[in-house]
Amino acid sequence: MKYFLLFFLIVSVSYAQTGKIVYSSVLNFGGGQVNKTKNNLFFTKDASIYQPQLKRNNKTEKDQNTKEDAGNNRNVEINIKVGTDEIGNLYYNNLHSRTITCREPIYNNSVLKYYLYDDNASIKWVLLDEFKGISGYNCQKATTTFRGRNYEAWFTSEIPLSFGPWKFSGLPGLILEVYDLTGEVYFSSEHIQIPFKNAESKVQKPSVDTILEHREFIEKSNKASSTVIQAMRARLPKGAKLVSSEIKRNGIELEYEWDTE
């Protein structure tokens, strides 16, 4: 009987350290079209994976409008919203390696290809003596500056695991809400399920895709975006000028550590 109780306690503790959180994200870069999505965070005591709840229609779409201004100039505004494959963007966070493995796409020559890269940057948080309740959990406020944006986050030490949405991590508790001060980036937990018995099978490191260094991926992505913009300009009608062109990927990061090298 003692052995049974011990086994039961071990299993209970193990399951208590697993979970699923549904986050809503709202991204609005530069006052453009608001992108609202639902994403799942699955976690165990050692690792987590953040992934989208994909819609049926995730194709790459191009929207082109031609307008005339007061000077009778023809202005062409082109927006490209890059779609996804059947998996989408993934962010795998391993607490032991302190590395986030990211699966993200690059759109080049009308082809969407996914790559893997490891992001080793650590986020330096400042904990504040402010508290509020979120989804029945007592949460503490923290702030940080990360890759060009100033953020406020709310985490709960009642779930003492250093995970959160997207690449956000490093706090002494699960992040339930985080947003930047410009209002362009916002993540908020909507549903929390603890324990979640299928977490172990969900939390798997991404594989198969081509692996790049983080900086190499960003440079390759920027180069692909420039190529698309140049191709658009070459196909503009005579007398028209390009007002704006935007390759929408995630747009959250505005600068990187190597920009100051």
List the chain residues with pLDDT less than 70.
1-16, 31-32, 56-83, 228-250, 261
Supply the pTM of this predicted model. 0.82
Q: Is residue 153 part of a domain?
A: no
> What is the rounded CA–CA span in Å between residue 113 and residue 107?
7
* pLDDT score at 71: 54
Host H or E run for residue 244: strand 240-248
Q: Is residue 51 part of a domain?
A: yes
On the CB side of 67, CA atoms within 13 Å amount to 8
Q: Is residue 57 part of a domain?
A: yes
Q: Is residue 167 part of a domain?
A: no
* pLDDT score at 227: 74
Q: Is residue 199 part of a domain?
A: yes
Largest CA distance in the chain: 88
Nearest of 250, 253, 241, 254 to residue 78 by alpha carbon:
241
* pLDDT score at 205: 95
Q: Is residue 161 part of a domain?
A: no
> What is the rounded CA–CA span in Å between residue 205 and residue 18?
16
**DSSP designation for 232:** H
* pLDDT score at 240: 61
Q: Is residue 9 part of a domain?
A: no
pLDDT tens for 188-225 read: 999 999 999 999 999 999 987 799 999 999 999 988 87
- Specify the number of domains making up the chain: 1
Residue matched to tokens 């890269």: 117
Q: Is residue 43 part of a domain?
A: yes
Structural domain span for residue 235: 18-122+176-260
Nearest of 56, 24, 29, 50 to residue 249 by alpha carbon:
29
